[in-house]
Amino acid sequence: MFLLDSHCDAPLMLAKGADFGRRVEQGCTPGRFPVTHVDFPRMKKGGVNGSFFAIYTSNALSPDQATRRAFELISKVYDAVEQNPSRAALATTPAQARYNARNGLISIFLGMENGAPIQRDLSLLRMFNRLGVTYLTLTHARSNEICDSCTSSEPRWGGVSPFGREVIAEMNRLGMMVDVSHISDASFWDVLKYSKAPVIASHSCCRALCDHPRNLTDEMIVALAEKGGVVQVNFYPSFLDKAYGEKVSALIDAEEDAQAQWLGNPSDPVLQQRLQAAVTALNAVPRPSYRKIVDHIDHVVRLVGVKHVGLGSDFDGIETCPDGLEDIGKMQRIIIELRKRGYAEQDIRHIAGGNFLRVMEQVQRLAE
Ligand SMILES: [Zn+2]
């Protein structure tokens, strides 16, 4: 079995100075890390063979800031892998990942979340691809030069922009995967129309089970599967369970705000206390069980079978985790739950990572 996580925000923690060679301490007050979910020892404990580290940039950055930030994050990932040669290795193809696994190494792939760093320049897209970026999530929380976001206040393009069409064509040519997570419904349908290759949703759940614009409708899941793509279920409790999401929405805003202030001045005891209080308030709300993740997997399977679903945790990019799956060290719980629900071993292998690697292989084969 190759267990793959197609999306996490670990580079953000690396940029804050986390050392992935040792288990990064949990907890709010000690150390510099309010919460971390990923490091190499815990990936090993969870039986994880590969993980996509997201090169994430905020839509709030200027184009030049976004490009610089992307280079900074890529460089941090290179450093973390280089410092841990007995634990991890970079990978850009499924064949490389399988080779790494045979040698006992965890594969670190690069995905880019938000196309802002490529500005309006396809040569930057080609350079990021050469640096190892194998998928691009077209945008994030807001519209960009490529397309509209599902959480944009107002659509800027009504879907994919004319430049976005060029980006998709170039990605098809390069063998890069187009990621539809975060994009608007209209953008989704445009991507399906314009992409010649199958596409992925690197970290998205089912809207039928949790009505949120970040999640995919049944119609979208069916269309994505018909095109040969894959839906990688997100672990974020607010995308798994609508009632929980509504309960914590204001608490999450307060926690984010407290954390941003504290990061600006980590030695200030008042800011530290405020953050601690915000974290405690958020954690006091009961979180949905990790079994909800498997409910979303079941739903995709009922719609389109076992060949179009996988796992995209969003660890290190989420404020809370499902109950029972607080970090990547507990990933085997999903496998155990799939077995409990009667999935055959062959099918579990597809879900755990086989499906994603198959799509990746196909996209790369279609490259010109
Ligand atoms: Zn995301």
Tokens of 223: 């269309």
Q: How far is the CA of 317 from the centre of ligand 1 (A)?
A: 7
The per-residue pLDDT for 34 is 55
Q: How many angstroms is it from 298 CA to the middle of ligand 1? A: 22
Crossing angle (nearest 10°) for helices 291-304 and 332-340: 60
The reported pLDDT for the residue numbered 154 is 86
Q: What is the pLDDT of residue 31?
A: 40
Q: How far apart are CA 191 and CA 255, in angstroms?
A: 35
What's the gap in Å between 94 CA and the centre of ligand 1?
23
Instruction: Report the chain (368 residues): mean pLDDT per 10 consecutive residues.
Output: 97 88 54 71 96 97 98 98 97 98 98 98 98 98 97 92 98 98 98 98 98 98 98 98 96 90 88 89 93 98 98 94 94 98 98 98 95
- Alpha carbon of 234 to ligand 1 centroid (Å): 9
Say which residue the tokens 């990933």 belong to: 331
The class level of CATH for 4-241+288-365 reads alpha beta
- Tell me if residue 347 falls in helix, strand or coil: helix
Tell me the CA–centroid distance for residue 204 and ligand 1, in Å: 9
Q: What's residue 25's pLDDT? A: 52
**Cα of 140 from ligand 1 centre, angstroms:** 7
Nearest partner of 92 among 314, 365, 317, 364, judged by Cα? 364
Strand partners, 289: 323
The dihedrals phi and psi of 216, each to the nearest 5 degrees, come to: -95, 140
Tokens representing residue 20 in the block = 């992935």
Distance 270 CA to ligand 1 centre (A): 31
Residue 182 CA to ligand 1 center (angstroms) comes to 7
> What's residue 27's pLDDT?
41
78 Cα–ligand 1 center, Å? 21
